[in-house]
Amino acid sequence: MVRAEIITIGDEILYGQILDTNTQWISFELDKLGIKTIRKSSVGDSAEEITTILNESKSRADVVFITGGLGPTKDDLTKKVLADFFHCSLEMNEDALKDVTEFFLKRGRELSDINRDQALLPTKAQFIPNNQGTAPCMWFDEFGVIWISMPGVPFEMKAIMENEVIPKLISHFKTPIIYHKVIKTIGIGESYLSDLIQDWELSLPKHIKLAYLPSLGIVKLRLTAFGDDLEGLKANVEEQIALLRPMINSFIFGYEKDEIAEVVGHLLIKNKSTIAVAESCTGGHLSHQFTQISGCSEYFMGGVISYSNEIKKEILHVSDSILNKDGAVSESCVTAMAKSIREKFNTTYGMATSGIAGPTGGSIEKPVGTVWIALASEGEVITRKLQLGGNRMQNIHMTSLNSLNLIRRYLLKDLS
């Protein structure tokens, strides 16, 4: 097993002024390659601190990833420390200079001395191009360890990793052939899911591992197969998924990078259908889920945020008797809202939400977290009551997810 360490350099991370997301991303990608992260560290913009951590890593890791400390205003601290650490000098690297010059040329800007100096690299460095910025990436093979220094800007680091570093790692370490597939579920908690699939999990072949990746309302299952033959591994994983699917089919909304709002969008397009939403407690969040997806205008016509009862009455024509007798958080109210938005926007479907997101507004009969949702179609309205237990933002988020899932299962004719 190849052992990796990840080091982040920068006072702004050390003092908590920025959240470091690079380290998580790198370790997640390494895990997919079968490279085991054994330590993550952050140190400040100090030559002494950087040298100390490099010396520590030398005796523990096979590969060390270093991000940050390469910007022009950082005085290129990392490069100087690396040159000293590897007992070499900084010299102008012609490939790096060509890249940084072109970077400025393309943008019609002149190359300043500070930016020119970004092409000064330790002579032992193998230069790796950065197409997204001016800070260079460097690969060293010293002391029996591979050292990779990358800029800290996340989109630059990710592009370098994907295009350059990961292929080099695979070829250098001859990492095992690995195949991954992520199965995405909604509407079921991690422990209940694990109960449902435990027999299947226990009978997985030895070369296939399962990981649970839970987040709010969604649990991802990742299957990882190790072996010699990629096509064989793909086939093995698909066989296992074919066995798994019947056990939890209703909960699976997609695979890999599928997002729930996108999946719902594809189903609507496939059914040549359109939708509009009437939101009370979600207050725009549900519409925002739809409209985050580029191209959603094909099926998402829009909606009404009826935050006040007056708007529920005047724009959505919810009757006084419903609002007075059952209240705004009721089955009758969301039914009326869903029907009304469907007619008003002339769509195939109308979705409505109304609930108590909290922290205030709860009562004994309708505590915080009580939510009703409804989906209206031609001649039919489906409703669901939710009892959520999170804070305001979590309750809003869970209501949107439940709404999207109700639409998904309705379109798949898979409602229990």
Q: Which amino acid is at 278?
A: A
Q: State in angstroms the smallest separation of the CB of 384 from a second copy.
A: 21
Tell me the two tokens of residue 243.
Answer: 């066995």
Q: State in angstroms the smallest separation of the CB of 97 from a second copy.
A: 26
Contact between residue 40 and residue 6 where contact means Cβ atoms under 8 Å apart = yes
Residue closer to a second copy by CB (options 208, 356) is 356
Residue closer to a second copy by CB (options 93, 224) is 224
Q: State in angstroms the smallest separation of the CB of 333 from a second copy.
A: 14
Cα separation values, 222 from 26, 190, 203, 206, 213, Å: 17, 13, 16, 15, 7
Name the 3-class secondary structure at 101.
Answer: helix
Q: State in angstroms the smallest separation of the CB of 215 from a second copy.
A: 9
Q: State in angstroms the smallest separation of the CB of 239 from a second copy.
A: 25
Residue closer to a second copy by CB (options 300, 410) is 300
Crossing angle between the packed helical segments 77-85 and 47-58, to the nearest 10 degrees: 50
Q: State in angstroms the smallest separation of the CB of 350 from a second copy.
A: 13
Residue closer to a second copy by CB (options 124, 366) is 366
Instruction: Give the residues across from 147 on adjacent strands.
Output: 64, 140
Q: What is the dihedral of CA 386, 387, 390, 393, to 10 degrees?
A: 40
Residue closer to a second copy by CB (options 160, 341) is 341
Contact between residue 182 and residue 256 where contact means Cβ atoms under 8 Å apart = yes
d(C-alpha 175, C-alpha 160), whole Å? 19
Q: What angle do CA 40, 44, 46 make, to 5 degrees?
A: 125
Residue closer to a second copy by CB (options 10, 151) is 10
